[in-house]
Amino acid sequence: MTTGRNAVRVGLLGCGIVGGATARVLTEQAATLSERAGVRIDLAKVAVRDLSKPRTVQLPDEVWTADAWSVVKDPTIDVIVETIGGVEPARDLIIEAARSGKHIVTANKELLSTLGEKVMGAAEQAGVDLLFEGSVAGGIPIIRPMKESLAGDRVTRVMGIVNGTTNFILTRMSETGETFEAALGEAERLGYPELDPSADIEGHDAAAKLAILASLAFNARVVASDVEREGISKVTPEDVAAAHELGYEIKLLAVAEESEGQVSARVNPAMLPRLHPLAAVRDVFNAVFVVGAEAGELMFLGRGAGGGPTASAVVGDIVEIARNVATGGRATGCTCYRDKAQMRPPHEANVRYYVVLSVLDQPGVLAAVAGVFAAHEISIASVRQEGIGEEATLALITHVGTEGRHDETFAELETLDSVRSIDSRLRVVGTAEA
Amino acid sequence: MTTGRNAVRVGLLGCGIVGGATARVLTEQAATLSERAGVRIDLAKVAVRDLSKPRTVQLPDEVWTADAWSVVKDPTIDVIVETIGGVEPARDLIIEAARSGKHIVTANKELLSTLGEKVMGAAEQAGVDLLFEGSVAGGIPIIRPMKESLAGDRVTRVMGIVNGTTNFILTRMSETGETFEAALGEAERLGYPELDPSADIEGHDAAAKLAILASLAFNARVVASDVEREGISKVTPEDVAAAHELGYEIKLLAVAEESEGQVSARVNPAMLPRLHPLAAVRDVFNAVFVVGAEAGELMFLGRGAGGGPTASAVVGDIVEIARNVATGGRATGCTCYRDKAQMRPPHEANVRYYVVLSVLDQPGVLAAVAGVFAAHEISIASVRQEGIGEEATLALITHVGTEGRHDETFAELETLDSVRSIDSRLRVVGTAEA
């Protein structure tokens, strides 16, 4: 790129919630941003699908266009900021922008968590920067700390609450005792879920973000389909109440770990001890908890979505690129030095479980149940027997064992005459053991 | 600097707790670090005061030297890592290193918070990088997020628990009810305070870190002597108990704010609502809470001191510099575009107070006290009358008003016949109001 410029020209693709906030910040804070970048930052073009739609940001007529392709090909544009979301046409637009020598800023988690290698490869090959701070956890600085600040450390685990809608729902369930359906209704009334709520509820959104975080943490590419995934729709008020009694909160946790050269990555509702810093993350707040061999435990907390927070991240990336254009520098590129991560087979992951069994109220039940755990070499950390007659239950928490052995144990428990059903089964995370 | 190098040579000054951990990480993680930097990182020289002292890290004999000056002048060295601490001789060594064209990594808060302008100016003039992630809050990535990730935002407030020793003491006082002296004794037994504990207890250490954070937050230089400062030695078990009853925790808070172009910066024990994320920061953990106009509330939590955590930050800086040496890039330089910050006169700062008065147990006392507050236009948010006879007290929390009016109010209260003494006076921070 040319150095010693007077201005860096930005082409913005999309002007929805994130794009609109980005345009507003670039316009309102133009003087401050230029001071920080050492060069003027001009919002030169904004491509939208529908030019007739009213916009909250006021820009000169010649800035608006309905032709995104003309923007990525415009030789006067230095930086393309993609806020369209989704895989297509974002992928083709970004690759074309890179080929045209433009730096790229994107907050597109779907694209990066599926075709990250392809778009980053295109940027690398073209010698342009591709920054994506807004793609995970909105306004929380996490990409740059992982890529740069922790480049001197060895991350062993990254664990996050990275979906605001599900955290809002679980917070409501925890604080009011209401059902999943009622809490989801409240979230929808407030407009929190994506248009298709299953992206949030079933953990797809969190899995995409975890794939990006895990790739940065372990310098090896993890894609969304590598992430095991379970949503929160089966969490009941009884689970929440039981968690409280035991000193836990239930959270949708995204967890990635590396050990012995293998990476495991999963998103699932989990019981987290109340004293764990992530347990206090309420409502739509997001947080990422990172364990470094040297730094120890770190947590990054903030707002994970919304126009302002995501624009904060996106404009931060634009300023970094503008600084680089002014000085001839380059941002840190793709850090997946090890290419594809070697994923640990899910049944080999080391986990702990909380499990609730409906049992017959008769002597010898506990002995039979304990015998099944022992046969599969899963130790029991705690057990509570409750209710009588038809309502009798056993609630157990296990010590660490593989997912496979837990599966086998639970399958065999269901064959016992004295066990009516397994009513609940939740991972236990954030303890000294796991 | 030369680009396209095969190796970047590091000269380390000091090999104490931080320097020793830095040497260990550079040695143990050499392969990984080289992969991340795109160039080999060699620990070429380590300067120590006493060559005969046994060291935990094993290095070839020719690496060790007692002559720090020979290292900063060595033409084969690319990066000087200063872990000596204190102003002299660190300042002269860093300035000489910059003049000799070497990049600099330092964790020296004393130097940066007093003569930051001088050393950064020397680096700027010489065209070398000066990075200092380890200078504030140890292993918590905070400098880079403030300089780069938040470069697209407008920070209005930064608030931190940035001294581990005092947070350990206040956590003990909160959780066991013991006195300041007893908790300090326990901290000393565990080796937490600096050699001179007053640096921790009286808030000097926190003030130095706040000066650095405020300079980054507001792009204007704030030095340690700009920071108002009050230590924790006067905090009593009674204060802690009263705070709990009202739903607060007492923390040593470092707070910097900008409004109307003026910056205020202060370190003092303060009452913080229990639901505030900083209130849950326990023991020796540190946390920095940042409010951005766009990002909203952010918090960065982790270990604020110790060899491993600080080395994590220092080595991250070394990797960034090595990447730059390899690619010809430059790190973000000094971001104090506005030079010296305009400090708000302390008496004009807007604050809230918790105050406890010993009063005579007679009718009309509350009316007299309330009258004094009203005369100085300080509103009372809550008041509790307790005890009888000689033990009668009034505990009040005020609404927001200037420090000056609060001072005048308290001075006049002491002249009332019905007020025996002011027993306690603590700022209230982290509420919706202030």
Q: Give, for B395, the enclosing helix (H) or strand (E).
A: strand B393-398
Q: For the CA atoms of chain B, what is the radius of gyration?
A: 24
Interatomic CA distance for residues A96 and A90, integer angstroms: 10
Q: Does the distance separating the beta carbons of A319 and B312 come in below 8 Å? A: no
Three-class secondary structure of residue B257 per DSSP: strand
Over residues A313-336, the mean pLDDT reads 93
Among B residues 120-139, those touching chain A with beta carbons less than 8 Å apart: 133, 138-139
A296 CB neighbours in chain B (<8 A) are 139, 302-303, 308-309
Closest chain A residue to B327 measured between Cα atoms?
A: A330
**CB pairs < 8 Å spanning A and B:** 195
Q: Are B151 and B193 in contact (CB under 8 A)?
A: no
pLDDT given for residue B3 in this prediction: 47
B234-265 pLDDT, tens digit each: 999 999 999 999 999 999 999 999 999 999 99
Q: Does the distance separating the beta carbons of B150 and A33 come in below 8 Å? A: no
Q: How many residues does chain B have?
A: 434
Residue B4's pLDDT band (boundaries 50, 70, 90)?
low
Closest CA–CA distance from residue B55 to any residue of chain A (Å): 19
Tell me if chain B has a CB within 8 Å of the CB of A36.
yes
Kindly give the interhelix angle for B365-375 and B403-415, rounded to the nearest 10 degrees: 150
| Angle in degrees, CA A298, A314, B337, rounded to 5 | 85
Interatomic CA distance for residues A315 and A82, integer angstroms: 12
DSSP for B12-32, written as a single string: EE--SHHHHHHHHHHHHTHHH
Q: Which fold is adopted by the domain A346-428? A: Alpha-Beta Plaits (3.30.70)
pLDDT given for residue A4 in this prediction: 52
Give Cβ neighbours of residue A384 (< 8 Å, ≥ 6 apart). A394, A395, A396
pLDDT given for residue B361 in this prediction: 87
Interatomic CA distance for residues B284 and B162, integer angstroms: 9
**Alpha helices for B38-108 (secondary structure H):** 68-73, 90-99
Residue A2's pLDDT band (boundaries 50, 70, 90)?
very low
The count of other CB atoms within 10 Å of the CB of residue B182 is 15
Hey, what amino acid is at A230? Answer: E
A323 CB neighbours in chain B (<8 A) are 332
The ipTM value here is: 0.94
pLDDT for residue A433 is more than 80: no
Q: Are B33 and B79 in contact (CB under 8 A)?
A: no
Instruction: Report in angstroms the alpha-carbon separations of A191 from A22, A163, A284.
Output: 21, 14, 12
Q: Does the distance separating the beta carbons of A295 and B140 come in below 8 Å? A: yes
Q: Are A140 and A301 in contact (CB under 8 A)?
A: yes
CATH class belonging to A143-302: alpha beta
Print the SS3 string covering A295-322.
CEEEEEEEECCCHHHHHHHHHHHHHHHH
Q: Are A96 and A72 in contact (CB under 8 A)?
A: yes
Residue A327's pLDDT band (boundaries 50, 70, 90)?
confident
pLDDT given for residue A3 in this prediction: 47
Q: Does the distance separating the beta carbons of B145 and A145 come in below 8 Å? A: yes
Tell me if chain B has a CB within 8 Å of the CB of A3.
no
pLDDT for residue B1 is more than 60: no
Tell me if chain B has a CB within 8 Å of the CB of A432.
no
Mean pLDDT, chain B, integer: 94
Kindly give the interhelix angle for B164-176 and B180-189, rounded to the nearest 10 degrees: 130
Tell me if chain B has a CB within 8 Å of the CB of A164.
no
pTM (predicted TM-score): 0.95
Tell me if chain B has a CB within 8 Å of the CB of A27.
no
Query: What are the residue numbers of the active site of B?
Result: 209
B59-113 pLDDT, tens digit each: 999 999 999 999 999 999 999 999 999 999 999 999 999 999 999 999 999 999 9
Q: Provide CATH code, domain B143-303.
A: 3.30.360.10
Q: Which residue ranges make up each domain of chain B? A: 7-139+307-327, 143-303, 347-428
**Which residue did the predictor score with more confidence, B389 or B117?**
B117
Tell me if chain B has a CB within 8 Å of the CB of A277.
yes
B121-134 pLDDT, tens digit each: 999 999 999 999 99
Q: Provide CATH code, domain A7-138+307-327.
A: 3.40.50.720
Residue A388's pLDDT band (boundaries 50, 70, 90)?
confident
A47-58 pLDDT, tens digit each: 999 999 999 899
Interatomic CA distance for residues A312 and A316, integer angstroms: 6
Interatomic CA distance for residues A412 and A427, integer angstroms: 19
CATH class belonging to B347-428: alpha beta
Print the SS3 string covering chain A.
CCCCCCEEEEEEECCCHHHHHHHHHHHHCHHHHHHHHCCEEEEEEEECCCCCCCCCCCCCHHHEECCHHHHHHCCCCCEEEECCCCCCCHHHHHHHHHHCCCEEEECCHHHHHHHHHHHHHHHHHHCCCEECHHHCCCCCCCHHHHHCHHHHCCEEEEEEECCHHHHHHHHHHHHHCCCHHHHHHHHHHCCCCCCCCHHHHCCHHHHHHHHHHHHHHHCCECCHHHCEECCCCCCCHHHHHHHHHCCEEEEEEEEEEEECCEEEEEEEEEEEECCCHHHHCCCCEEEEEEEECCCEEEEEEEECCCHHHHHHHHHHHHHHHHHHHHHCCCCCCCCCCCCECCECCHHHCEECEEEEEEECCCCCHHHHHHHHHHHCCCCEEEEEEECCHHHCEEEEEECCEEHHHHHHHHHHHHHCCCEEEEEEEEEECCCCCC
Q: Does the distance separating the beta carbons of B311 and A294 come in below 8 Å? A: yes
Q: Are A172 and A183 in contact (CB under 8 A)?
A: yes
B7-139+307-327 belongs to CATH 3.40.50.880: no
Choice among A45-54, A189-198, A221-230, B27-36 with the minimum mean pLDDT: A189-198
A106-149 pLDDT, tens digit each: 999 999 999 999 999 999 999 999 999 999 999 999 999 999 99
